[in-house]
């Protein structure tokens, strides 16, 4: 044991103690603590780590499970909102296509009427064709503007609802306090 740390070495003169002619062995000590005391301390520390460490892992695991559930709920809500938005988009796309078909049908009707009027009177027919064509184009433009405005309005309502739902879930009293403190500090 010549290369052992000085803490563990025992002076050779201290290993044997003679008392009344009988040799008695002296136990080695670590910082003045006998071997059984060191074992008792080590076991106590080990048991404390096992006891308190298990509780910490359960607490951390429960916190992570709660956060995972909240994230899954947010993802499900986002999927639902996306599917609603896609359904609205498809509905308004169909409305726009229907309006275009109606406009085409109107144009065809106007052309047919114009052809009949041309047979009656060429001068009156040219004026009527121009009027009907302009009316059809105005109606198409009006229908497109109306459909686009309706799509925008619905998208704004859906986005506002989604935003308010997400803000309500994410913005709690602590966030309100932090925001108020930041506003007061900026003044």
**Per-residue pLDDT reduced to its tens digit, 24-37:** 666 777 788 888 88
Using the predicted structure, report yes or no on whether residue 10 has a pLDDT greater than 60: no
Write down the pTM of the prediction.
0.31
Using the predicted structure, report yes or no on whether residue 180 has a pLDDT greater than 70: yes
CA 135, CA 104: separation in Å to the nearest integer?
12
Q: How confident is the model at residue 124 (pLDDT cuts 50, 70, 90)?
A: low
Residues 114 and 128: beta-carbon distance below 8 Å? yes
Residue 133, burial from CB neighbour count under 10 angstroms (0-12, 13-18, 19+): middle
Q: Of the ranges 8-17, 90-99, 101-110, which one carries the lowest mean pLDDT score?
A: 8-17
């Amino acid at each position: 044991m010549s290369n052992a740390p000085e803490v563990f070495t025992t002076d050779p003169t201290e290993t044997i103690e003679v008392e009344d002619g009988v040799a008695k062995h002296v136990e080695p000590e670590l910082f003045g603590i006998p071997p059984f005391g060191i074992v008792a301390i080590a076991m106590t520390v080990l048991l404390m780590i096992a006891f308190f460490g298990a509780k910490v892992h359960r607490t951390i695991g429960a916190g992570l499970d709660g956060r995972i559930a909240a994230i899954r709920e947010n993802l499900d809500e986002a999927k639902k909102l996306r599917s609603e938005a896609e359904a609205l988009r498809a509905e308004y796309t169909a409305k726009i296509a229907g309006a275009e078909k109606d406009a085409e049908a109107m144009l065809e009707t106007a052309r047919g009427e114009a052809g009949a009027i041309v047979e009656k009177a060429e001068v009156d027919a040219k004026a009527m064709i121009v009027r009907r064509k302009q009316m059809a184009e105005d109606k198409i433009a009006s229908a497109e503007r109306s459909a686009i405005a309706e799509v925008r309005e619905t998208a704004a309502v859906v986005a506002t609802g989604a935003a308010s739902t997400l803000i309500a879930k994410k913005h709690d009293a602590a966030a309100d306090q932090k925001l108020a403190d930041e506003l007061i500090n900026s003044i």
